[in-house]
Structure 1
Amino acid sequence: MPSLKTYDLFISHAWTYNDEYYKMVNMLKQTPLFTWRNYSVPEHDPLKAKTDAQLYAALQNQIRPVNAVIVLAGMYAAYRKWIEAEIEIAKSYKKPIIGVKPWGNALVPKIVQDSAKTVVGWNTASIVEAIRKYSL
């Protein structure tokens, strides 16, 4: 069997919404025949930044090497500033953005709709299919 591509992914999230982030991580880890590396910034391994400018630069370093950026659209309203920054950084590096709607949400923020290659529901098969289709 040929070796599978390993996808380098950045999952946009907020620490106060760790449940959604860890559910996403676990979904991807449990997907058969899918290999990936996590370039996200989990709470247990924060970036070393003291100012907004330092945080922005550190996020650039995290996003620069990835194949795709996944935006968990349900957190947008509360964390608009940094999610918009991550989207801006992804776009500056021409990284594909995949929006993921949380369970029960019909609405997706306009910036996510306008920036994403696709917006999928909270479904492992849909998310993995989008990653495979749109990743660099």
Structure 2
Amino acid sequence: MPYLHNYRLFISHAWRYSERYQRAITFINAAPNFSWTNYSVPEDKKFEKMSRQALEEELRQQIRPVQCVVVLAGMYAAHSDWIQFEIDYAQSLKKPILGGVPWGAERTPLIVQLAANKMVGWNAASIVSGIREITP
């Protein structure tokens, strides 16, 4: 069997929309011949007690080692300071950003469109193909 490159990914998410995050994980896990490590941290009660500064540092530590940041481009992203922080930090490190457009979305937040190196449909094949295309 050929060697599979293991992609280090951070999947941006708003905890109030964790079902979309879980769907992204399911899509990526189901992709054939794709190996990856998830550097994003799903909802965790310890974050509720952190200061903004501590949470920003936690996000920096999660994003710093990744090869690609995947941003779920639901309209909530346009109103999330945290997603903006993740995008800004990823860009400061010159990390490629993949934007995923949810099924049936009529609009996509401008912050994601402008930041993304590539926008893809919200399905396993498109996400994996996009990651492979923009990740060194």
Question: TM-score higher than 0.5 here?
Answer: yes
| More deviation, 81-90/14-23 | 14-23
Report how many aligned residue pairs link the two structures.
135
Partner of 1:76: 77
Q: Where has structure 1 moved over 3 Å in runs of 4 or more?
A: 44-49
Structure 2: distance between partners of 1:25 and 1:3: 22
Task: Determine which structure has the larger helix proportion and give its number.
Answer: 2
Q: Secondary structure at the match of 1:19?
A: helix
Displacement, 1:45? 7.5
Aligned residues: CA RMSD: 1.7
Partner of 1:62: 62
Partner of 1:30: 30
Please state if 1:89 is matched with 2:84.
Answer: no
Could you tell me which runs of 5 or more consecutive residues in structure 1 were left unpaired when the two chains were aligned.
none
Q: Secondary structure at the match of 2:10?
A: strand
Displacement, 1:58? 1.1
Could you tell me which runs of 5 or more consecutive residues in structure 2 were left unpaired when the two chains were aligned.
none
Displacement, 1:50? 1.6
Q: State the identity %.
A: 47
Matches within 5 A, 1:125-136: 125-136=125-136
Displacement, 1:46? 5.2
